[in-house]
Structure 1
Amino acid sequence: EEGTFILFLVLVSAHALTVEAPAREIKVARGKNATLRCNFKSNSVPDRGDLVVWKKINRDGSYEWEWMLTEKDFFQIFFNPRTVGSVETGDISITIGAVTMEDNGTYACSVRLRDDPPREQNPKSVLQLLLVAPSKPECKILGTAQYGETINLTCVSHEGSPTPTYTWKSFNVQNEPRVLPHTQGQQITLKNISADTSGFYICTSTNVVGTEFCNMTVSVVPPSMNIALYAGIIGGVVAAIVVIGIIAYCCCCRESKEEDYEMTLLAGFDNISTPEQHSREQEDRNEPSVRRMPPRQESTGEDVENA
């Protein structure tokens, strides 16, 4: 990843003292070192008590940090190892190591020499902007990929400075390039999609620092493909109803059998007679047999003799 600083340098000019910032715009990769150059010229020689100031200025005008140097030797000590050059030669440049997004901002340098005081201030600013390559974009499909529907394809890099731009290209299922109605922006819309819409879509996120991309596959299906789903749901409901019906039928049959069994038992209990009834029935059965018995004949003497 590369980055760019835009530096605001406040230059104070007075009498023979001049302060210059050679670079109006500095670009550097994130994580690298950024050197902020500032030089001054004067007819006097810097000495103890002279003042060199570096400031990082926020948007509201406040200072995030301020380095004030009151001794010529202290400049080398305080900024080490960020310094390049020396106060004696008029070089008060500083180097910020391993820059991050937090280092992005406006910086100002100024010089005050007791032997060469400024008569008026003439500040000059240079913006220093840190540039960051786009992060790998996140691709999404918004909507239902069915015939006749409208879907949106989105692509977003969550990091990148300046803001990345997005371009799209597409290939059909035979991996042949095809023309898209729109090829710019974080989102493209595909209307009235069909089988011809299916294929591969590539989004490229780009800024002056670098490029990243993401890709996605779009598969458009006809609405009839959902019949299997609906059929499965209906089949499941019907099966549940059948199972419930079988269970209900079994319960009813069981209750019916229990009632028949109870009726049979009751009928059996009705056929059981009491001892009195049994004796009476026995007498009734014996009476006819007594009536049918022929009268007994008495033996005679003749019968004896004949025998």
Structure 2
Amino acid sequence: MNNTPNSSSPPTCTLPPQAVSNALKITSTGSQTVYVAEHDDIQIGCTFQLEPADKGALDIEWSIMNPDTTQLDRVILTYQHGEQFAYDNPLRGRFQFTETDPSNGNASVRISTLRITDTNTFQCKVKQAPGIDSRKVTVGVHVRPQEPECWTDRSGDRDQDVTLHCVSHRGSSPLTYTWNRVSDSRGLPARSTTDLPGKPPVPFPEFCANRQYPSGRFVASPSRDVGTSHGQGGWTRVSALPPVAVRG
């Protein structure tokens, strides 16, 4: 009989991973969805604060988030080992750090001369082991409304309602139109209506003025969340007047 003790290996002891507290913190605040007019510039904030516990190499990464979560995001700008690296993308040359040295706690960027195709969600990620934090901002680029074209329809009969039309031929939908009387302080006629009910949809707003005030000058202002434009349409209650086209 073999009484030799078993020569098996001593038991091993695996330590649990050390709990890590993300001391690094991005301190930028503000809206995470912003709307900007085409051709304007925008600054996206990404300031951060480091703590003594963060001892690794500083790594800053800006990327365009892929709406398909199964696909990779697109890295467009980084700061690593004291150097900035811009990667090939449609924003190259227009997407830059606002500071020469972003390691001083400011990884904010500026996007210049915005295009409609720049509409995206951007992520700033800052890492310095063991700390890591990130911030996302969605930028929507819209076309600012163009000065509208306005005109007046008259039946030619006295004491008849007059309909004013206005349309802006350029501007990201949907546009909101606001009518105001600008020739004096009386405001719109009390029973005037806009977007006449019971009529099929039209690509421009209509304003039907009643017979309370014989004349006046009105302005229609198309607006979007990136700006407002103005145009003018005038009307008068005089018999036998043909339709008049008034351009803003």
Residue number in structure 1 paired with 2:130? 116
CA distance in 1 between counterparts of 2:56 and 2:40 reads 32
Structure with higher RCO (Cα < 8 A, 6+ apart): 2
Residue number in structure 1 paired with 2:207? 188
Q: CA contact under 8 A between 2:165 and 2:206: conserved in structure 1?
A: yes
Measured after TM superposition, the shift of residue 140 of structure 1 is 3.0
Instruction: Identify if the C-alpha distance between structure 1 residues 77 and 168 changes in structure 2 by more than 3 Å, giving closer, same or farther.
Output: closer
Q: CA contact under 8 A between 1:84 and 1:93: conserved in structure 2?
A: yes
Q: If the length of structure 1 is used for normalisation, what is the TM-score?
A: 0.47
Find the residue that maps to 2:21 and give its secondary structure.
coil
1:88 to 94, 103, 106: 103
Instruction: Identify if the C-alpha distance between structure 1 residues 126 and 70 changes in structure 2 by more than 3 Å, giving closer, same or farther.
Output: closer
Q: CA contact under 8 A between 1:46 and 1:88: conserved in structure 2?
A: no
Instruction: Identify if the C-alpha distance between structure 1 residues 19 and 183 changes in structure 2 by more than 3 Å, giving closer, same or farther.
Output: farther
Residue number in structure 1 paired with 2:115? 100
Gaps of 5+ in 2: 1-19, 196-204, 243-248
Instruction: Identify if the C-alpha distance between structure 1 residues 219 and 105 changes in structure 2 by more than 3 Å, giving closer, same or farther.
Output: same
Q: If the length of structure 2 is used for normalisation, what is the TM-score?
A: 0.56
Find the residue that maps to 1:110 and give its secondary structure.
strand
Instruction: Identify if the C-alpha distance between structure 1 residues 151 and 161 changes in structure 2 by more than 3 Å, giving closer, same or farther.
Output: same
Gaps of 5+ in 1: 1-13, 227-307
Percent same amino acid at aligned positions?
16
- Structure with a larger share of its residues in strand: 2
Residue number in structure 1 paired with 2:233? 216
Instruction: Identify if the C-alpha distance between structure 1 residues 179 and 87 changes in structure 2 by more than 3 Å, giving closer, same or farther.
Output: closer
Q: CA contact under 8 A between 1:55 and 1:63: conserved in structure 2?
A: no
Q: How many residue pairs were aligned?
A: 201
Q: CA contact under 8 A between 1:84 and 1:92: conserved in structure 2?
A: yes
Q: Deviations over 1:225-259 (max 9, x none)?
A: 89xxxxxxxxxxxxxxxxxxxxxxxxxxxxxxxxx
- Structure with a larger share of its residues in helix: 1
Q: Deviations over 1:259-302 (max 9, x none)?
A: xxxxxxxxxxxxxxxxxxxxxxxxxxxxxxxxxxxxxxxxxxxx
Q: CA contact under 8 A between 1:162 and 1:207: conserved in structure 2?
A: yes
* Mapping of residues 167-206 of structure 1, within 5 Å: 167-169=179-181, 171=183, 179-180=188-189, 181-182=191-192, 186-190=205-209, 197-206=214-223
Residue number in structure 2 paired with 1:136? 147
CA distance in 2 between counterparts of 1:70 and 1:161 reads 38
Which range moves more in the overlay, 138-147 or 57-66? 57-66
1:52 to 30, 39, 60: 60
The one-letter code matched in structure 1 to 2:97 is T
Find the residue that maps to 1:98 and give its secondary structure.
coil
Residue number in structure 1 paired with 2:80? 71
Which range moves more in the overlay, 52-61 or 95-104? 52-61
Q: Deviations over 1:188-247 (max 9, x none)?
A: 2235x69x6455332234567654321223355647x89xxxxxxxxxxxxxxxxxxxxx
Residue number in structure 2 paired with 1:38? 46
Q: Deviations over 1:146-202 (max 9, x none)?
A: 34655532223332688444122165xxx89564134777432235x69x6455332
Name the Cα RMSD after superposition: 4.4
CA distance in 2 between counterparts of 1:183 and 1:147 reads 19
